[in-house]
Structure 1
């Protein structure tokens, strides 16, 4: 079996002095030789712990060169990495550590340990500490060749761990490296957090091709003016980000001040890119080619669509998500329950192929519910509604059920409701998303509190301790009661009238 990190190690052997990582935040670089040396030190430290192959190592690290080295070191030790969101509530990360049965957590040495499941450090290496976990190992088995686990929002309030093997990740990485012609003279921005699947392209696509990775912290990534200056200063050639971030560039990036002529391609994914904002970006980056990539965490990128050259069309509707990538197949689950593998009509998008996840870690029932068998293949039900246009391209038409997309993240509104129901003063709660141009504009909460309305700051503070920042609601509305359907379920259609 090929390994996700193999080509990166080859780069370290063939081009040891090449710059692997530029880290503007601390004004330092890391060569491929230095990156390998750090990763190797972490591998040796992990091997001394005698963990079974395929064991999960949780990463609780800010985005940094050490975090990238840790990922490589974990993979070189034939273990799987699980990146935690350092900005998420401790209670959520504690749950993930326990649910995944991660036996080790790799982090900075902590003055105060926020996770009771961790013991004292088992050792330090490369400025990092290895903490043993007391998470119960109840026979939960990782699939053969597991590379990483990424946790996504869950409808019942329980996050789900998406298991991705080396083979599945490489299906995307190898295709992306070849399709976008990544080469050693390229510099890629690394904008996505490590727990977000967009980071797979940056880390493994970029480094396996010998590129330089411009590693940006979250605060740097959210600063369009700073990002604009970095693109010029570091000669960035490839950017991969969500439309939410990219559409800030024309408004606040002041690109006219800087030379962005080396930028040759812009990839976006995670949500719909409104046409006016996209056109504005194409105007300032008129020398670059643009690509719309699509795929949930469970499949990574499974369809793609190259946009026509700037100024050659007058399209007003969002661009298609395009055609299946060569390693995957797509089908449409129609309203009548029939499945069209010929890509016709409209319905829920199904994906089958090399890049599809193995399943949800320790959640066989959720895995079963997410899959459907057809024509002797297993298909992942994306929950995304699509329509096939006259050119045979897939058009995104929104979400099925109660999952929404915000800033590139998929959010189960039920997880927000589950967190609210932990608040003793709240008797009932219901959550809705207000959408604009197929993207979430705002998240509203309707709640019943017998003692009367609660301060919005108090509710936000409460939720901030239980769900990630990107899930936090924008509006809270107190109601005397939540409307119900005839079957005594929350009447979301009635609540929509209040938006």
Structure 2
């Protein structure tokens, strides 16, 4: 493992070593070299310092994915602060809540979003300084222009990049909270560096690699995309939102940009397999396909592997609180008779894992229990939520703090973990324990079902009722009789949903996961 104390150290080293190499590409718009990106992020560091940003402060990033956004997070890190990326496509009120919640000192925001965000922040009594960046500028020109204008008003003196300590915050990623308000997951430089270095030893990237950047920057998948790439002097290819869910255009981009390491949620890869016309393109550069964030239905994974048989396929598992904590390399070819998802694999080398029962005791290998993780990759806690932080950890007698993932797993004899479902998605029905994820897995076996999400609702008579939300590959959907007959053949009687609701496509969050909250609101 590296002895680097702070996340941006390796980027600085790459820029010194390969200043002329291309660091980031915005397809169809432009690119920036390592030397140029280093210089631009230095300028932002100096401006942030002039605005009073110090080690330990927070800086909000309210930008669409761009070279500007990459430079913004690097400049924030160089100033010693933690970056807080916010979804610019979400309501401004949500973004303002996040930025106010963690008391950002400065916000770097797109011009088109600045007025509305500023009004929302003012309504909360927050008035952070703003660096306003003109949108639709490529190659870092938007941020560069904003800094030029600021320098005309008051020149920012040159400063030095901060040498952070391992426990200093590097970034805060906000996730959905059980209270209905987002909660901030605090990740330190140690958390990030140990994860990035694990990726280096596991996937062996080189300067010749071209990484996809499909995940939005407020999603934890982006940590691998950005920081592993920049550590190795490779090229980061930004995938814009307008292309990211358009299978034919995305398939073309992967081929045209010669992407060699791809990382995304399985739902995107399933779309590519079904609708990307992959056989038309040259994917000889693609050597690793990584996926995380949700279960990959085997029928879609098999279809992808048959279309693209040469890359290495790896299932990466982990909540935002740990980033990736287990991983599994899919053995190819996938047998035709396999219908169950692959395991989430073995614990990463920089972490430890155990399986706990409800009382916090470890269970015997092979038994079901909650996966808990410890080690230097585990978050510091939730921002300003000490009680939730305390509930999220189990403290062992030896003083080890184990983060409770909420995921139910079992451990096989080879130390591989199999994901069984969420602790909080388990319900009792007719005296039986029912895991909603198991119903979803059963529904995915139907050849015509494209997406499946299952929710439980309180029912005065039955105690709980179960609704399945579905979308179909075909215009003609299965009839109610057909789908009930299929369920009877594939699920225990007590798991058959009471109700089936069809959509053209299930609603998604900004990170391309099925939006269960919006589905709840439809009922």
CA drift at 1:242: 0.7
Pairing partner for 1:185 from 202, 208, 218: 208
| Equivalent of 1:352 in 361, 368, 374 | 374
3-state SS, counterpart of residue 106 of structure 1: strand
Matches of 1:96 and 1:40, distance apart in 2? 26
**Counterpart for residue 364 of structure 1:** 386
1:436 matched to 2:454? The reply is: no
Contact 2:105/2:129 (8 A) holds in 1: no
Q: Using the alignment, how far apart are the partners of 1:197 and 1:472 within structure 2?
A: 20
Q: Distance in 1 between matches of 2:365 and 2:108?
A: 44
- Residue from 71, 74, 78 that aligns with 2:73: 71
Work out the CA distance in 2 between the residues paired with 1:45 and 1:185. 33
Q: CA deviation at 1:317?
A: 1.5
Deviation sequence 1:129-187 (CA, Å, 0-9, x none): 899xxxxxxxxxx9941000000111111211000001111111011022111111111
Inter-partner Cα distance in structure 2 for 1:71 and 1:445? 40
Report the Cα distance in structure 2 between the residues aligned to 1:435 and 1:365, rounded to whole angstroms.
33
> Could you tell me which residue of structure 2 aligns to residue 209 of structure 1?
232
Q: Which moved more, 1:83-92 or 1:356-365?
A: 83-92
What is the aligned partner in structure 2 of residue 80 from structure 1?
Answer: 82
Matches of 1:151 and 1:353, distance apart in 2: 21
Confirm or deny: 8 A CA contact 2:440 2:454 kept in the other structure.
no
Question: Quick one: distance in 2 between partners of 1:477 and 1:164?
Answer: 35
From 9, 14, 31, give the equivalent of 2:12: 9
Compared CA separation, residues 435 and 127, structure 1 to 2 (3 A): farther
Pick from 334, 349, 354 the counterpart of residue 326 of structure 1.
Answer: 349
Q: Unpaired segments of 5 or more residues in structure 2?
A: 133-142, 151-164, 428-435, 445-450, 460-508
2:110 is matched with which residue: 108, 111, 117? 108
Where do 1:3-82 residues align within 5 Å? 3-24=6-27, 26-82=28-84
CA distance 1:447–1:104, change in 2 (3 Å): farther
Q: 1:35 to 1:390 in 2, by over 3 A?
A: same
Q: 1:203 to 1:269 in 2, by over 3 A?
A: same
Indicate the SS of the match to 1:321: coil
Matched, 1:194 2:196: no
| C-alpha distance in 1 between matches for 2:516 and 2:169 | 28
| Alignment deviations for residues 385-442 of structure 1 (CA, whole Å, 9 cap, x no partner) | 00112432100000011599xxxxxxxxxxxxxxxxxxxxxxxxxxx99951189823
The C-alpha deviation readout for 1:28-68, integer Å capped at 9, x for no partner, is 11111111111111101001012231101011000001000
Measure the CA separation in 1 of the matches of 2:224 and 2:236. 11
Equivalent residues of 1:330, 1:343 under 8 A apart = no
* Structure 1 residue 2 displacement after superposition: 1.2
Range that drifts further, 28-37 or 114-123: 114-123
Query: Residue 385 of structure 1 corresponds to which residue in structure 2?
Result: 408
Q: How does 1:459-498 map to 2 (within 5 A)?
A: 470=515, 473-474=518-519
Give per-residue Cα distances to partners, 1:81-129, cap 9 Å, x unaligned. Answer: 0000111222221211121111211112356233333548655652458
State the superposition RMSD in angstroms. Answer: 3.0
Q: Tell me the equivalent position of 2:97.
A: 95
**Residue in 2 aligned with 1:153?**
176
Q: 1:70 is paired with a residue of what secondary structure?
A: helix
Contact 1:151 1:162 in 2 (8 A): yes
Q: Distance in 2 between matches of 1:444 and 1:275?
A: 22
- Unaligned residue ranges in structure 1 (runs of 5+): 132-141, 405-431, 449-463, 479-499
What is the deviation of 1:300? 0.5
CA distance in structure 2 between the aligned counterparts of 1:160 and 1:184, rounded to whole angstroms: 36
Contact residue 434 and residue 441 of structure 1 kept, 8 A: no
Deviates more, 1:112-121 or 1:321-330: 112-121
Report the TM-score when normalising by structure 2: 0.75
Greater Cα offset, 49-58 or 355-364: 49-58
Which one has more relative contact order, counting CA pairs under 8 Å at least 6 apart? 1
Q: What corresponds to 1:290 in structure 2? A: 313
| Alpha-carbon separation, structure 2, partners of 1:386 and 1:29 | 43
Partner of 1:338: 361
Residue equivalent to 2:448: none
* Alpha-carbon distance change, 311 to 399 in structure 1, aligned in 2, over 3 angstroms: closer
Give 1:229's match in structure 2, choosing from 246, 252, 256.
Answer: 252
How far apart in 2 are the matches of 1:433 and 1:66? 39
Q: Is the 8 A contact 1:108 1:128 kept in 2?
A: no
Tell me the distance in 2 between the aligned counterparts of 1:68 and 1:353.
28
- Give the aligned partner of residue 153 of structure 2: none
Structure with the larger helix share:
2
Whole-angstrom distance in 2 between the partners of 1:23 and 1:169: 25
- Distance in 2 separating the partners of 1:43 and 1:390: 50
CA distance, structure 2, for counterparts of residue 208 and residue 477 of structure 1: 44
Count of residues in Structure 1 that have an aligned counterpart in Structure 2 = 423
